[in-house]
Amino acid sequence: MDEKNITCIQKVKFIFDFFEKREWGQGEEPPLKSIVKSSGIEPAAVADLSRFLHNRLDRIAKMMEILMSAHDGWATSGKRDKILLETSTYDFNDALKLLKDNGFNDDEFVLKVEYERKWGLL
């Protein structure tokens, strides 16, 4: 968004889901699928979930560190199965570039951007 734009406020929200990626690759299966609402759960399924969660939470922490070191105006909140980072003072394009430059993919987070009018008609 143009920094000189005086008509809109850009609200940026990053959503980091603990258990899911936005898109699973071919041959990948969500690790909870073999545990939730299942019977005859194998120890290997629990170990797979443990490895997935360890890696996933580590990646979320790294993404948060990168974004929060670039801008100190983030509001953070935790939900049952996700972490939210929100701001209206940092451009989402800059945030996306930072994450991409550090090796993160689009399927590792959900990005929502809303625009709100500051005053009058656009």
* pLDDT tens digits for range 17-44: 988 766 677 877 777 777 887 788 889 8
- Cα gap 69→121, rounded to integer Å: 35
CB within 8 Å of 39: residues ≥ 6 apart: none
Tens digit of each residue's pLDDT (9 = 90 or more) over 73-115: 999 999 988 999 999 999 999 999 999 999 999 889 999 998 8
Assess whether pLDDT exceeds 60 at residue 3.
no
User: Domain 9-117: which topology?
Assistant: Alpha-Beta Plaits (3.30.70)
What pTM does this model have? 0.82
Domains of the chain by residue range: 9-117
Pairing label, strands 8-17, 110-117: antiparallel
What mean pLDDT comes out for the span 50-59?
A: 92
Q: Do 64 and 109 meet the contact criterion of CB atoms below 8 Å apart?
A: no
User: Encoding tokens for residue 7?
Assistant: 């008509």
Predicted confidence at residue 117, as pLDDT, reads: 77
User: Encoding tokens for residue 96?
Assistant: 């996306």
